[in-house]
Amino acid sequence: MSQSLVQKRDGQELLPISWNNLQFITDELIKTIERKQIKFNSVYPIPRGGLMVALMLSHKFDVPLLMREDDICKDCLICDDIVDSGKTLEYYRRKFPKNNVATLHVRSTASSKPDVWAFEIMNTSWVHYPWEKR
């Protein structure tokens, strides 16, 4: 992800992700999952950002999309859009220590890293996904 993609809006640096970008980023995540041979039989989206990620992986790998945290089993891949500070990921790591976590992005300064991700964000720009309100 090039620095030249960063925009400014209301004084905030913003890295906008289009639907086309999203497909490319998800394809990179899929390649990484396959290369690392991550095995799973279902996906769970961390609310709300993980929903599109989990949905796309559910279709690609033909596995069920779980919508309740209570349904997470040991072979479920937990999905999110980004690991920013790392606090949300730490919660899921404590609650589901045997599960793999996949994200589109991880911030280089995050306190915890997922098992697999597509791209690392090296700056402080707000990553703006296409499903987020403008």
Q: Is 65 helix (H, G, I), strand (E, B) or coil?
A: strand
CA angle 108, 111, 116 (to 5 degrees): 65
| Residues 47, 82, 17, 42, CA torsion sign | negative
**For residue 3, pLDDT beyond 50:** no
Percent of the chain with pLDDT over 90: 81
Residue type, 56: M
| Angle, helices 50-61/19-35, rounded to nearest 10 degrees | 60
Give CA–CA dist 44/46, Å, rounded.
Answer: 7
Name the residue ranges covered by the structural domains of the chain.
Answer: 3-128
pLDDT band at residue 124 under the 50/70/90 scheme:
confident
**For residue 12, pLDDT beyond 80:** no
Q: Given this model, what pLDDT does residue 6 score?
A: 60
Token digits of residue 12: 């905030």
Q: Does residue 133 or residue 64 have the better pLDDT?
A: 64
Q: Given this model, what pLDDT does residue 14 score?
A: 85
Q: What is the pLDDT of residues 55-88, one digit of tens each?
A: 999 999 999 999 999 999 999 999 999 999 999 9
Q: Given this model, what pLDDT does residue 1 score?
A: 44
Q: Given this model, what pLDDT does residue 126 score?
A: 87
Domain over 3-128 is classified CATH 3.40.50.300: no
